[in-house]
Structure 1
């Protein structure tokens, strides 16, 4: 019963159906977000989207958009959104405030020209209508320090992309041979 009471208080005190100004500012400085989707059967997928600060744009208090870049060839998230528009976003500040923001809503896929950009890597946009926005407490968020790194944008070289890092292809081939 205590858990139900705490959840009721949390939803009453902390969950909004829009982004307030502090949340909008937070979104504007994020460089990554974890995106959760599921298909029509409820099979889930969680993925990372990243870009420079501001790559997730707040259009208004109830709408955010993020780009889909060239190179996202699997498109599991987009396929799921086409079947089931419910989406969850988690943005975490690991470096300064050690706090997170959940944004849950309904998504649609928009053409590149709906939100003009100079970034040629953007192929399309995901538009999220905010239904819930709430804090992810800092209690267990680790502090991390960003480091510069070289990125091989636009390459199809499997090794440079980190392609089969976990050896899944070799494991599948070995299991098929036995």
Structure 2
């Protein structure tokens, strides 16, 4: 776990719960002042985020209620600007503006991005700046598809690679089609090998 993430997420009440359930000692070192905070995205995080076609984003309202929203787009719509900054084009949806309103009140955001195929997930905490600066919006907009009128720029405060346990394996349409094509080619290859050996086989359709 990231030390920076632990220092933000492990509040006094969280530490009480860890102590009560027997995991406090496991995380003691993460909170030691002698351990340097690791709050900069590395190559692994940058590649992972740039490959995602969606993520879940949580904000908090004035009344203290959490609000979770799914943000999606073509792979690459979530852009890594530098080691501490990511951003995405804020496309128009149903015009409720709940996340936007929450972020105007409290700029803190929590994000979780999941790769269901490799069973990996990355959690991020950060602070948001909503911008209509045309240069930044152009940077965040993709070359194809819809154009956004504003951008969301997130300054990363901490991140953490989450435990892969309980992540279901799911394929996108493109991933499924690629897997089917791979299996079809493998079947054809095996059938050809058997045919070359004079072994008759029924044709199998995956």
TM-score by length of 1: 0.74
Off by >4 Å, runs of 4+ in structure 1 = 9-13
Shift of 1:77: 0.6
Q: Secondary structure of 1:123's match? A: coil
Q: Which has the higher helix share?
A: 2
Aligned-residue RMSD, C-alpha:
2.0
Q: Is the alpha carbon distance of 1:73 and 1:65 closer, same or farther for their aligned partners in structure 2, counting shifts above 3 Å?
A: same
Cα distance, 1:43 vs structure 2: 1.6
Q: Tell me what 1:132 maps to.
A: 158
1:5 aligns with 2:25: yes
Three-state SS of the structure 2 residue aligned to 1:137 is coil
| Contact map agreement 1:112 1:123 (CA 8 A) in 2 | no
Equivalent in 71, 76, 79 of residue 54 of structure 1? 76
Answer 1 or 2: which has greater strand percent.
Answer: 1
Distance verdict in 2 for CA 1:144–1:61, change over 3 Å = same
Q: Which whole-Å CA distance do the structure 2 matches of 1:135 and 1:142 have between them?
A: 16
Structure 2 counterparts to residues 1-178 of structure 1, below 5 A: 1=19, 2-9=22-29, 16-95=38-117, 97-111=118-132, 113=134, 114-116=136-138, 117=141, 118=143, 119-147=145-173
Larger Cα-atom Rg: 2
Aligned length in residues? 146
Rounded to whole Å, the distance in 2 between the matches of 1:24 and 1:75 is: 28
Where do 5+ consecutive residues of structure 1 fail to align?
149-178
Give the TM-score of the pair, scaled to structure 2: 0.65
